[in-house]
Structure 1
Amino acid sequence: MATRTYDPAFSDEEATIVLTSSDDVNYRLHSFTLRTTSGFFRGMISLPQKPSGDDASKVGEDEQIALSEGSKVLGILFRIISGLLVDKWGSLDEVKDILAAAQKYDMPGPISAIRSVVTSPPRLQEQPLQCYAIAARYDWEEEARIISTYTLNKCLHDEGNRYILEQVPSPYLLRLLRLHKSRRDKFKEHIIKGNKCFGIESSHGCTDSCMALLGQFAQILVSEMENHPGGDTLIAGSWKRWPIYGSQIVEDIKVGLNNLPTKIEVPAQVHTPSQVFTDDR
């Protein structure tokens, strides 16, 4: 009989349940740990009386359960439910696989830990749309609202983002699209008001040709907000050195950006028929 390969952190012979990954790595866990941390295993594992003496390890070997996930997934999953340190999380794709396994085995502890991993600043800055897709898929409302802010420097219309956005459930995708669009529209409303651009109106200090130039420049900024609704790119450029109006335009842009929405809106509450009748009393 071939010798089993065990994860060093899960080789305690007192643990009577042996779980085997798809790549043949074995994990010994106590039935109590599995039953108290996993709804899936709670319903699967019985609790026979533990024999004494030499029979104990035999029971552990007999109770072997083969799982479909690989060791990269199960190693982290079992460390979390056992209260062990997870030295390093892998790529976001690996995190998604671990999350899928945690959902499959009904493990709220790992799910909670992964929610924190998905909203960690490094991942949000590097892969905000991917993080948003995960939060949306699992209906993590609070996390989705936080992550939506980090998507603002991404253009949702870029072809490279199409595959990611196709993974976002429609309600969350529509709310993200509305956030990006509303920032552009509200910014336009702020910098272009009637015959004024950036709070500057035609007068002896600004000729008609000057106003036309300001109008064209305002439209350029609006177009930039379409591609980068975060607005970080707006106040860069040599135009800030324009005589008389440069500093005024910069200030008006900053005021406009500061007043824009930064998160997806809270979804409207859905009332059941009984709630509607109750509210109308």
Structure 2
Amino acid sequence: MMEMESIPGAALVNTVKGGFHESFSSPDADVVLGAKDHTLFRIHSWTLKTTSGWFRSLFSMPQQSPLPNHPETINLDEDSYTLESLLLMVCGLPINPLTSYDEVDALLFAAEKYEMAGPVSLIRVLIMTPPLLNQPLRLYAAATRCGWEEEAKHASAQSLALNIYAPEHQPTLRKLCTGAVLDLINLHRDRREGIRKRLDEQPFVTASTMASCPRCRWKIDHHTWRELKYKVVMEMDVRPLGDTVVDVGLMDWPEAIACWDAKCPNVECTCVLYDKVETLRLIRDCIDSLPKTT
């Protein structure tokens, strides 16, 4: 009888109590795996040994030959859907589509536990397809945990469209390792601080810029520009991608309209104080130059 107690996640029993999965019920298979919800899977030990380091170690233990047509059942911790998805992958059968990261996480955990490199590589491909691609923080969490650098960079770039400080994202961020969450926070912060720094430098109006009309030298106040700068920085804080700044905000925000309408207070001059077209171009260039990935 093989000694199972030394290997977590499995138990050996002599009777089959549940129903067999229709895709894994071949009578000539010599191993029965039991899901935690009692669904049973008949599968060949050779398949498990060649695709799983965990099962290879398990079957290398001394064991008593089972009775003919009565293979013993190895009960596992996974539910039937996760176990089905895993076995479809290792058997080369059509696989279940992955539609949520709850499925991805359960399948990845099982594949890693049983040392199945094949399913892990398939999951790595699948998470870069819709609808999973549309969940950048969950993608980032999976990629950083597995050490998938390219996928993690892609996810970090996609995350720039999110306010990662919003309450709904906190559960996902809590699952990240410290280094991964700090890298993501630093990316978002660096984009906000990068635009703040650039807007305080030439050729933009700065603290050292003379507060006078460029045409008549009348004394002016750059308060409309300061308010617009503050609005830009705050918008980059909640959506660091910057698309709402250049595509919407600088055209429609009240602060932007006030800035573009600002004129010299000298009634004999009324020079427009800020070049809207050039300022928009410069801000767009600044945003394009900011870091885009972790």
The normalised TM-score by structure 2 is 0.77
For the aligned residue pairs, the C-alpha RMSD in angstroms reads 2.9
Map 1:47-58; keep pairs closer than 5 Å: none
Tell me what 1:231 maps to: 242
Tell me what 1:278 maps to: none
Residue 159 (structure 1) shift: 2.3
Tell me what 2:94 maps to: 85
Tell me what 2:288 maps to: 258
| Gap regions ≥5 residues in structure 2 | 1-14, 262-273
**Cα deviation code 1:188-209 (max 9, x no counterpart):** 23333157249xx762299764
The DSSP-based 3-state class of the residue aligned with 1:9 is: coil
Tell me what 1:270 maps to: none
**Cα deviation code 1:106-137 (max 9, x no counterpart):** 10111111122233353232x21122122223
Aligned residue-pair number? 254
Map 1:71-82; keep pairs closer than 5 Å: 71-82=80-91
Q: CA, structure 1 residues 215+36, in 2 after alignment: closer, same or farther (shift >3 Å)?
A: same
Tell me what 1:27 maps to: 41
The sequence identity of aligned pairs, in percent, is 31
Whether 1:37 and 2:51 are equivalent positions in the alignment is yes
Whether 1:111 and 2:131 are equivalent positions in the alignment is no
Whether 1:10 and 2:24 are equivalent positions in the alignment is yes
- The answer (yes or no) to whether the contact 1:152–1:180 under 8 Å persists in 2 is yes
Tell me what 1:220 maps to: 231
**Cα deviation code 1:68-117 (max 9, x no counterpart):** 11111001000000111114224211210111111111101111111222
The correspondence for 2:275, drawn from 245, 264, 268, is 245
Q: Distance in 1 between matches of 2:82 and 2:280?
A: 50
- The answer (yes or no) to whether the contact 1:16–1:59 under 8 Å persists in 2 is no
Q: CA, structure 1 residues 208+27, in 2 after alignment: closer, same or farther (shift >3 Å)?
A: farther
- The answer (yes or no) to whether the contact 1:155–1:227 under 8 Å persists in 2 is yes
Q: Distance in 1 between matches of 2:189 and 2:201?
A: 19
The structure richer in helix per residue is 1
Q: Which amino acid aligns with 2:194?
A: K
Q: CA, structure 1 residues 60+113, in 2 after alignment: closer, same or farther (shift >3 Å)?
A: farther
The normalised TM-score by structure 1 is 0.80
The DSSP-based 3-state class of the residue aligned with 1:66 is: strand
Map 1:113-132; keep pairs closer than 5 Å: 113-125=122-134, 127-132=135-140
Q: Distance in 2 between matches of 1:60 and 1:251?
A: 76
The DSSP-based 3-state class of the residue aligned with 1:262 is: coil
